Structures are given as C-alpha cells and as structure tokens.
Chain A
Amino acid sequence: MLAYVARRLLYLIPVIFGVTILTFVLFNVVGGDPVYQKMGKHGSEAEIKILRHELGLDRPLPEQYLFYLKQCVTFNFGRSWATNQNITDMLTAGIGPSMSLSIPAFFITIVLSILLSILIVFFRNGLMDKLLQVFCIAGTCISVLVYVILGQYFFAYKWGMFPISGYDSGWDSRWQFLALPMIIWVAVSIGYEVLLYRSAILEEVFQDYVRTARAKGLTEKVVLLKHVLKNSLTPIITSIMMEVPLLITGALVLEAFFGIPGLGGMIYQAVANSDFPVIKAMTFIGSVLFVLANLASDLLVSLVDPRVEFN
C-alpha cells in the first residue's frame, strides 16, 4: 500500500505541471491585462510601462512561467496585484471562515443524506419514496440564490431569527452569523446527495447476496444497515471525497451574500481583478487538494471493500 501511495503522490508532479501550464496559458491568452485595471482610469503610457516592469510582465513568457513554477515549489506566491496583501496571509485569513461554514454544513448534509436515502430505500416505491424524490429533485433545481434571498428575507429580516449578514472572528460569536448560511447549504445540497446515495443503495438492493440475506430470514432493517449500506459506500465515499477540496476553497455565493470573509470571495475577486498571483496560488492548491482527495478516496474505499487491491 505504501508503494501505491508513493506512486500516486508521484503522479502529482505531471498533474501539477499540466495545471500550471494550462493556468499560465489561459491567463496570458484570454485573460485581461491587469495593468490597465491597476492603473485606474488615469494611467498614462509611461506609467503603464513602469507598472508592467514592476510587476514583471515585461519579461519573456518562459521566464515568467519558470518564476511561477518556483513559487509553486517554494509555496511562496508573493503578493496580490489587486490588494498588495501577502497571499499566504490571505489564505490563512480566509480558510478559517470558509471552513467554519463548510465543514459543519457538509457533515450535516452527509449524515442527513445517508439517513434520508436509507429511509427512502426502506419505503421504496411507496408514497414516501415518491414524495421525497419529488422534493429532492425540486430542491436540486432551485437556484441557491432563491434560498439565499428568501432565507435572508424571512428568517433573518422578517422573523429576526438570525443576523442578516456579517461575520465575527470570535470562536463563540461566529456561529450566530454562520447558522443561516449553513442551513441554506444543507437545504441546497441535500436533494442532490440523497438522490445520489439512493441510487447507489438501490443498485445494491437487487444484488444476489441481498436476496440470500433475506432468504436467511434477516429483517429488512438489518439487511439495509448491515449489508447494503456497507457495499454502497464505495460510490458514496468517492462522491464525498471529491467534494472535500471545495470545502476548503469556500462557497462563493453564500460567502458573498452573507459577508463571510472566506476563500470563495477571495477567488471571485481574484478572477474579477485578473489578480494572477492569487489565481495561480488557488489553482495550484486546488489541484493538489483534488489529487490528494482522490488518493484518500481510494484508500478509504479499500478499507470498506477488501476486494480493492493496490496494483
């Protein structure tokens, strides 16, 4: 297994290399010129030239690319072009608020989704199953903006159950601001997750071993919880692990509407401002996280399914 992990970690190198090339090419070919934005509305030709030089944009592209690679290797991404902040500080400041929102919301979603999907399967083809499916599909189709706008208006403004928006970095006081976005996160994600888990569980329900278990006289509850659920975990784990990198990079819409100073808003601002150093850092970190999550997913699957071998 160690050899497998080492091999997978080595795969990181070509993946990251590919991602850096793609990011660099995309930024230089289709991205706007950050210099014009940074200069404001009055920039003269001479000032633009000076700024281009100071930002290193007048250097040959291969040299700029090598500099980017060096930054990736040393984990020193320099400063943001838009805000002049140290990017490491930006990441450190943003990761707390983002994860304070995403991790609890994510776990609540997963637990509720698994419970609901088992419930649906238990009552499969009945009224409960059909109703839940309808709600899940409807919930998936409704835009997150609708949840946000209605949630803010009714729960926060009309009924005063939560603050409308804002954030407090204190460990105790942050939850009052995170509660409503967390609920919305759960409400938005649960439909999709339940449908996914339901189909994963249903695929197992008709397997021969399930029939055998029932034939042995096991109750439906035992069959579902002890046998079916365990075997359905492979696609569920894969799906969960693929979402883990997104927990760190934040929830863009929720952060923007609720004024949570997380990484989602930071990424959005970086793209809007052609803030290449931040885009570079986030793309690099995102791809590393994605590869690691993929690896973790494979390892976890091997734990629940002994048939999985590391070749």
Chain B
Amino acid sequence: MLKIWFLVLALITSITITSCTKKEDKEYDHFVHYPIKANIKGIDPIHSSDLYSSTVMAQIYSALMQYNYLKRPTTVEPLDADGMPKISKDQKTYTFKIKKGIMFHDNPCFKATNGKGREVTAEDYIYSWKRVADPKSVSDGFWVFEGKIKGFKQWQEEASKAGKTDYSKPVPGLEAVDSYTLKITLEKPYPQLLYVLTMNQSSPVAKECVEHYGPEYQNNPVGSGPYKFKSWVRNSKIILEKNPNYRQETYPTTGEPTDAANGLLADAGKKLPLNEGVIFTEVVEDQPRYLNFRKGVFDIAEIPKDNFDTTVKNDELVPELASQGIRLGKYIDDDVTFESFNQDDPIVGGAKAKHLRQALSLVIDPQELITKFYNGRAVPAHGPIPPSISGYDPSLKNPYKGPNLEKAKALLKKAGYPDGKGLPELQYETYAGSTGRQIVEYFQQRAALIGVKIKITVNTWPEFLSKQKKRRAQMFGMAWSADYPDAENFLQLFYGPNGSPGPNNSNYNNPEFNKLYDKAAVMQDGPARNAIYRKMVDLVVEDAPWIFNIHRKQYVLTHGWFKNYKRNMMILNHIKYYTVDSALKEQLKKKL
C-alpha cells in the first residue's frame, strides 16, 4: 500500500511539474558544467586552504605565475608576470615585471571609474599579501610567505601585538619599484617561491573592493582572472561568466608527446578562455553527482567506489558508456597515503621502536589494499614522494614493503615483542568515513597475524586533528597531496622543527635528516638536490615513522562534447582551457 501511495504521489507530482522540467536553459549551453564535491566556504584568496574553494577562486583571480597546462613534469611559467623574474646571484632577490593592461573585473566597487575595473599594479600585490598576513584576516595561507619574505613575519607579529594592522607600514622584503615592477627580497634562498606565486593566496585583490564589501567581500569576489563572478546560491551553485576584458592569453602550443594524439593540441594558440563560463554545482554525495553526469547534466565526473564495477571492466570503460561518447582518463595523483607513528610516544616512537614500526609496515599487502579498497586505482608507495613530483626516484625499493609476515615476525622479536608478547594494545586514531574505517580494520586484522593488537578509536575530524596536533595520537592514518611540484613539500613532513602543531605530525626528528633538509632547502632543482632528497628518503624508509601505503589514481569520465581535459591536481585555473561543443552535446545527450 505504501508503495502504491509512493507511485501515485510520484505520478501526480511529476505531471504537475512536467512543464518546469522541460525548461532547458539555453543560456548556459556553452558553459562548462563542473561538479564540486564539497560546499564552498568562501571566495577570498585569504582563505584558500581547501581544494574546492581554491578551484573556484583560481578561475576568478589571477597570479604572477601559473603551471603549464600540458607539460609534464609540471613546469611553472609567467601569467601576470611579464616573463620570468630577474633573480639575484645570491638567489635572495626576485624582480618581477608585471604585464601592462591587466584589468580588474568591472564592479561597482570601483567608484572612481564608475564601476570600470582598473589596472592591476605592483602595489596591489603588496596590499594583497599584507592582507594574507594581517592577523585580523585569520588567513590560512600565510605559510607560503612566513619566514620566507624578509621581515614579513615580524610585520605580522607587530600587527598582532598592536591589535591593529597598519597597511601603510612597509614590509622590508616587498617593494613596488614602479607600477609594473615588484621586487621581493627573501630571508634566504627559497627555490619554491615561483610555485607559491601560482597559488590563490598570492593573487592580487583591489583594496577599494575589499573596503567596499567589507566582510562580504568573500561573497562578492573581484579578480583579474578569466572569469567574472556572476552569482552564488550558497551550498548549491556558483556561476562565473567569461571576462570579456581578459588579457591576451593563448592555449599552449606544446605539451607531452601524447597530447597531440589525444586531441589536446587542437586548440593550440587560441585565445583563452575557450568557453563562455562555468557553473560549479556543489554536490556532496557521490550518487547524485555520478547520476547527473550520466544524464549529461555535468561534463565531468570521478567514478565513485560503488559505481566502479559497472563503469570499468578490465581497466577499460564498459561498452555501454563508450557508445555514449563518454571517455575515460587515468591519472596518478600527486599524493601519498600513510599510517603514521607518533615519535613522541613511548611505545611506537623513537629509535628503539624502529623494528616494531618496520614489522607493522611489512604486514600490509599493498596489492590487496589497492584491490579491496581502491578498485585497483592506486600504485604502491615505496617512499613519501609521488611519481610525478620532481625528486622522485623510481629505483627506490622499500625493504619494509609487505607482505612478508616471516620477516615481520622476526623484526617484532628483535623489537623485544616475540609474537607480540609484552606489547600493549596499540591505539589507532581515525575519523568517521566508511572506506577509511575499513582500511584501518584491514590493518588491524593484518597486524593481528603477527600478534600485534590494535584498538581503533573513531573521532570527528576536529577531534582527530586535535589529537595529532597535541601529540596525543599514538598511530593514525592520513594522506598528503602536493601543494607544489617539489619533493620538498613531502619531505618537510619529516623535518624536526615542523613537528606538531606544524605539518610534521609524526614528530620525526632525526638530526641527520634535518641537516640534509636545511642544506637542500636553499638549493635549486637539479641532480645535486635530488641526490640529497634520495638520502633523506632512505633515512625515513629505514626509520619508518610512516608506513607508506599508496599513491592514488583517479579515473575520470568526460563526455564527448567536453574537450581538452588533462588532470593535474596542482593546476587549479584549468577551466579556461576547456571547450564545450554544444552541437555534439545535443546529439550525444540523446544517447544518454
């Protein structure tokens, strides 16, 4: 009876609203329809720590540098900068020329010009970066400049002490030589500077707009990027439209050898952006996101775990989807997942527990882990550095990579716990999430095979973070995704002075490692630095503060009408490269 009622209600309601559902919004035919997995928190460069908000921001704002869309390994190139910067011999001074004619989007906040956007100048960069440092901004992005740009940290500390930020007070390391010249002086060489200048927190904002909108600036963003903000229904969708005044920027003409064959050079040399705009739809649940893609509402989708087997067979797209013009792309993400041991803990931490950690590393069967929990979408990690990051050494073979239960038992005995005897139950902290929980339980079962008992505690995300940051978590699992394409971004996670509450949450503190890190930190990319990186990796592999699990792979579906997609997690300003063939879209949608 209940089902009959359900059907009757469904029928009545669907008849009533049929006229509404037929409304096809032609206005957005040439727009990219892009789903976002989480709710967007705000669109202001001072708050850009989460990937999803940053993705939206990167279309509206511009930056001095960007990553080449097609080249791999990822390479940095000028965007707002007029050519590469002039770098002093001691590598501590960078002088950037800024392109002329880069305009902020038209907006009522530009009262002096009756709403017409004005030109971006070097002063705008300095103002914007001071805003990131301003304690009142409570920004999560200052880490890119903190301790790097001369006197910037002191500037922030003084503002904090004063309780009021004086933007007119200069930062010793930042100078607008003229409207189009920005000079940056560093505390010490910072080879990653050009990478961080691709990030949203380094984007220029207009002071008059920030002051005009006040705290509501995050809901009324005004940038100088390829798209203008049009509207935002919080927790629903954001519409950005093409910036008609966008400067001359063209689609790259060279890339990887396979790019031409994959059709990625068909638009080489064309003016960007290649589409009319983008609609970001916030869909937090997997099923509606995937079904909307299958229905043609979204142009692109990742494959949820539960839908994988009906979408991919023998590592290929199933014929039904292929016949609908859907394409499958496979990409290894620049990340690593790991189990971490708190080195401050008396049981699992320090040199004396090294064999215990090595033994636990050996119990995990990475292939089983990948098959059971990732549908085969991952590659085993032998160290912390992902394969596509500069500094990765493919010859690295981690001797503690499992499965090898015999060796694990021997090491456990060496650690003083034969068959786990005498070892107290270990405490593993995790956070709610079904797959994550299943992976921990798998680890628990595998550890039991050598006699090690593990108790799992499930926390909320804030509790989980608090335990790590307060050094109260004995063991925990995490993942780290690259902020920039340099192995330093992963190796800093083992640098002693970065211990909790810094990013080194295992609190690993090996003087030899720290010394090598300090040495490499001021070196430019190259074989000499890579050799040091390899030594550092060898140290962490041997000391095993982490169990290195996997590097994740993404299988991405795109519709036939959606072109030029090439995934790279660090390239956030990617929407401008996509094209939408609306004639083909109309044709292919009939097949869906």
CB distance B215 to A79 under 8 Å? yes
Q: How far is the CB of B242 from chain A (nearest CB, A)?
A: 23
Contact of A34 among B42, B47, B459, B462 (CB under 8 A): B462
Give 1 or 0 for each of B126-168: 1 = CB within 8 Å of chain A CB: 0000000001101011110010000001001100100000000
Known: A43-B143, A162-B14, A166-B236. A269 touches B39 (CB 8 A): yes
CB distance B42 to A93 under 8 Å? no
Give 1 or 0 for each of A204-248: 1 = CB within 8 Å of chain B CB: 000000000000000000000000000000000000000000000
Contact of B20 among A46, A90, A149, A176 (CB under 8 A): A176
CB distance A33 to B462 under 8 Å? yes
CB distance B41 to A259 under 8 Å? no
Q: Which residues of A contact B17 (CB under 8 A)?
A: 162, 175-176, 179
Complex Cα gap A152–B297 (Å): 14
Complex Cα gap A55–B215 (Å): 15
Q: Which residues of A contact B153 (CB under 8 A)?
A: 46
Contact of B13 among A42, A84, A182, A190 (CB under 8 A): A182
Q: Which residues of A contact B156 (CB under 8 A)?
A: 50
Q: Which residues of A contact B146 (CB under 8 A)?
A: 44, 46-47
CB distance B20 to A136 under 8 Å? no
Contact of A265 among B39, B50, B138, B141 (CB under 8 A): B39
Interface membership of A66, Cβ < 8 A: no
Contact of B291 among A47, A85, A157, A265 (CB under 8 A): A157
Interface membership of A309, Cβ < 8 A: no
Q: List residues 16-56 of chain A with CB under 8 A from any CB of chain B.
A: 30-34, 36-48, 50-51, 53-55
CB distance B42 to A161 under 8 Å? no
Q: Which residues of A contact B294 (CB under 8 A)?
A: 157
Interface membership of A156, Cβ < 8 A: yes
Known: A53-B160, A54-B138, A139-B2. A261 touches B233 (CB 8 A): yes
Known: A54-B136, A152-B287, A183-B9. A47 touches B142 (CB 8 A): yes
CB distance A256 to B284 under 8 Å? yes
Known: A162-B21, A176-B21. A258 touches B288 (CB 8 A): yes
Complex Cα gap A115–B282 (Å): 39
The count of chain A contact residues (Cβ–Cβ below 8 Å) is: 80
Contact of A257 among B13, B16, B288 (CB under 8 A): B288
Q: Which residues of B contact A94 (CB under 8 A)?
A: 235
Q: Which residues of A contact B20 (CB under 8 A)?
A: 172-173, 175-176
Q: Which residues of B contact A179 (CB under 8 A)?
A: 13-14, 16-17
Residue of B nearest to A47 (CB): B142
Contact of B462 among A135, A156, A274 (CB under 8 A): A274
Q: How far is the CB of A287 from chain B (nearest CB, A)?
A: 22
Complex Cα gap A47–B133 (Å): 10
Give 1 or 0 for each of B222-251: 1 = CB within 8 Å of chain A CB: 000000000001111100000000000000
Q: Which residues of B contact A138 (CB under 8 A)?
A: 2
Q: Which residues of B contact A139 (CB under 8 A)?
A: 2
Q: Which residues of A contact B220 (CB under 8 A)?
A: none
Q: How far is the CB of B199 from chain A (nearest CB, A)?
A: 12
The count of chain B contact residues (Cβ–Cβ below 8 Å) is: 69
Interface membership of B425, Cβ < 8 A: no
- Chain A facing B: main interface SS: helix
CB distance A86 to B215 under 8 Å? yes
Interface membership of A64, Cβ < 8 A: no
CB distance B503 to A41 under 8 Å? yes
CB distance A32 to B1 under 8 Å? no
Q: How far is the CB of A61 from chain B (nearest CB, A)?
A: 17
Q: How far is the CB of A166 from chain B (nearest CB, A)?
A: 7
Q: Which residues of B contact A39 (CB under 8 A)?
A: 49, 140, 501
Complex Cα gap A155–B288 (Å): 13
Interface membership of B101, Cβ < 8 A: no
Complex Cα gap A275–B10 (Å): 38
Complex Cα gap A55–B143 (Å): 19
Complex Cα gap A108–B459 (Å): 39
Contact of B9 among A132, A136, A186, A256 (CB under 8 A): A186
Complex Cα gap A180–B9 (Å): 9
CB distance A272 to B283 under 8 Å? no
Complex Cα gap A161–B1 (Å): 21
CB distance A84 to B462 under 8 Å? no
CB distance A135 to B459 under 8 Å? no
Known: A40-B140, A175-B17. A169 touches B39 (CB 8 A): no
Complex Cα gap A112–B461 (Å): 41
CB distance B501 to A155 under 8 Å? no
Give 1 or 0 for each of A158-200: 1 = CB within 8 Å of chain B CB: 0011111111010011011001101100110011000000000
CB distance A31 to B463 under 8 Å? yes
Interface membership of A71, Cβ < 8 A: no
Q: Which residues of B contact A108 (CB under 8 A)?
A: 9
CB distance A112 to B297 under 8 Å? no
Interface membership of B445, Cβ < 8 A: no
Complex Cα gap A79–B14 (Å): 40
Interface membership of B170, Cβ < 8 A: no
Q: Which residues of B contact A37 (CB under 8 A)?
A: 461-462, 465
Complex Cα gap A256–B288 (Å): 10
Known: A86-B215, A164-B291. A33 touches B469 (CB 8 A): yes
CB distance B288 to A33 under 8 Å? no
CB distance A83 to B41 under 8 Å? yes
Q: How far is the CB of B474 from chain A (nearest CB, A)?
A: 17
Interface membership of A5, Cβ < 8 A: no
Known: A48-B501, A131-B1. A83 touches B23 (CB 8 A): no
Complex Cα gap A260–B160 (Å): 40
Q: How far is the CB of B459 from chain A (nearest CB, A)?
A: 7
Residue of A nearest to B44 (CB): A84
Give 1 or 0 for each of A132-146: 1 = CB within 8 Å of chain B CB: 100110110000000
Interface membership of B464, Cβ < 8 A: yes
Interface membership of A82, Cβ < 8 A: yes
A-B contact pairs, 5 of them (CB 8 A): A33-B469, A46-B146, A85-B42, A180-B10, A256-B285
Which 6 residue pairs spanning A and B have beta carbons closest together? A32-B462, A40-B49, A42-B143, A261-B235, A165-B288, A274-B462
List B residues at the A interface (Cβ < 8 Å). Answer: 1-3, 5-6, 9-10, 13-14, 16-17, 20-21, 23, 39, 41-42, 44, 47, 49-50, 135-136, 138, 140-143, 146, 153, 156-157, 160, 215-216, 218-219, 233-237, 281-285, 287-288, 291-292, 294-295, 297, 459-466, 468-470, 480, 501-503
Known: A33-B470, A162-B13, A175-B17. 8 other contacts (CB 8 A): A86-B216, A152-B288, A153-B291, A157-B291, A157-B294, A163-B21, A167-B233, A186-B6
